[in-house]
Every structure is written in C-alpha cells, then in structure tokens.
Amino acid sequence: MTSLFNSFIDLTLRWPEKVAAYLQWLAPLVARLIVGEVFMTAGWGKLQNLDAMIQNFTSWGIPFPQILTPFTSGAEFVCGILLMLGLFTRISAGILGVIMIVAIKSVLWADVDSLDTLLGFSETAYLAIFLWLSIAGAGKISIDHWLTRK
C-alpha cells in the first residue's frame, strides 16, 4: 500500500515539480509581457485622451483629477514598458497594483454584490498578477536578473 501511495505522490506531485523546475523562467516572462503590453497600450491611449480621462476621474470622485489623471496614465504606460523589459519589476508591479486597488474602489465597488463579482473583474486578476510579480520578481529572463547577477 505504501508503494502505491509513493508512486501516486511521485506521479502527481514530484514529477510535475521536476518539470516545472526547468520552466520557472517562463511564467514571469509571459505574465510580464502580457500585462506589460496591456498597460502600456492602455496608458498610451489615456495619455492621448487626457481631457476625457480627466472627466472620467472627476465623475469617479478621484481627487485632484488634473494631476492624478496624467500621473496615472503615464504610470500605466511607463510601468507597462518596464514590466515588458523586466526592469524595476517589483516597483512597477507595486505601482500598477495600487492603481488597480484604486480602480476597483473608485470605479467598480458600487457594482460589487458578492465575492464572485469582485473576483470576476479583470482588475482583480491584474491585481493578483501584480502581487505575484511584486513578491516573486521578474524571473531569469529580465534586465532585473541580469543587473543583480553582476
């Protein structure tokens, strides 16, 4: 019975862990490239339409919209680029995570009627990815890794 249990553990836990060890560089790279591109593009779009975005920030009740709109839009754009490069990843992910918290609270909170609703927002998924990148870092395929090896 113990042999069967050990075989089951080997097949379901140890073998996948060994395979994953060879691919640990892949997950942070893919996450950084995808969310980086999304936020670079979104930030650039907002920078191109600042007047409309300032009106949105005002209607959402975000204070100092004349200052925070270009700051937030610029942060999305720059941090998106930095994430794709894997440069200052923890800081960039932290900044974008805070932006997601503010977006959820300011824009989406009125629509939250359950945990399922909250977890269904793309902003919540982005927040989870940013939390992971803030803690785990950029991974081996990044400028951060290259800089810290020296």
Q: Please give, one letter per residue, the 3-state secondary structure of 73-127.
A: HHHHHHHHHHHHHCCCHHHHHHHHHHHHHHHHHHHHHHHCCCHHHHHHCHHHHHH
Q: Alpha-carbon distance 135 to 93, whole Å?
A: 9
pLDDT, position 11: 87
pLDDT, position 10: 87
Mean pLDDT score, 122-128? 98
Mean pLDDT score, 88-108? 97
pLDDT, position 2: 84
